[in-house]
Amino acid sequence: MRATFSMVILASLILTSPTQAQDIRAGTQTFERYCAACHGIDGTGFGPMRAVLTLLPTDLTALKSTNNGHFPVERVVRRIDGRDPLVSHGSPMPIYGSFFEDRDVGLQTERGQTILTSQPVVDLVAYLETLQKP
């Protein structure tokens, strides 16, 4: 009985992905490289590519204010990593291949659940949270 209980605990520890530390500096660099062309360097949606997009880029500084004062972590992660595609420029976002595809890092959502994504997305979300208007 004790061995079975120990194995269950061990299995749950292996299968449960801990939430990962967020690196805002790395998120800033990722944003500048992959996002600023459309969303603008300040995240307000006025990047140089705005004029050629079918749908106008979202104002990323207003994500919290348009979500009842809560930053929508799960929705943001799903949009960035492609699970909730947005076809605004002829292909699903992102168009950066495997950079955003590895889903092996846990990130806690606004509802206390864990969503798995890649470390670059975790860092990018941390940066986007810093852009939010009060």
* Assigned token pair, 103: 């889903």
Mean pLDDT calculated for residue range 33-62: 93
Domain that holds residue 87: 17-130
CA distance from start to end of the chain: 54
Residue 65 lies in a domain: yes
pLDDT in tens, 82-132: 777 766 555 556 566 567 776 688 999 988 999 999 999 999 999 999 999
ω into 120 cis (within 30 of 0):
no
Please name every residue paired with 107 in a beta bridge, in sequence order, or none if there are none.
Answer: 115
Query: How many domains does the structure of the chain reveal?
Result: 1
Q: Which residue has the higher pLDDT, 80 or 132?
A: 132
Angle at 72 (CA atoms; ends 67, 77), nearest 5 degrees: 150
Give percent of the chain above pLDDT 70. 74
Residue 12 lies in a domain: no
Q: Which of 15-19, 44-48, 50-54 has the lowest mean pLDDT?
A: 15-19
Residue 5 lies in a domain: no
Residue 10 lies in a domain: no
* Residue 16 clears pLDDT 50, i.e. is over it: no
Q: What is the CATH number of the domain that holds 103?
A: 1.10.760
What distance in Å separates the CA atoms of residue 57 and residue 74, rounded to the nearest whole number? 19
Q: Which of 39-53, 59-73, 84-98 has the lowest mean pLDDT?
A: 84-98
* Confidence band, pLDDT 50/70/90 cuts, at residue 39: very high
pTM value is 0.78
Residue 54 lies in a domain: yes
Residue 126 lies in a domain: yes
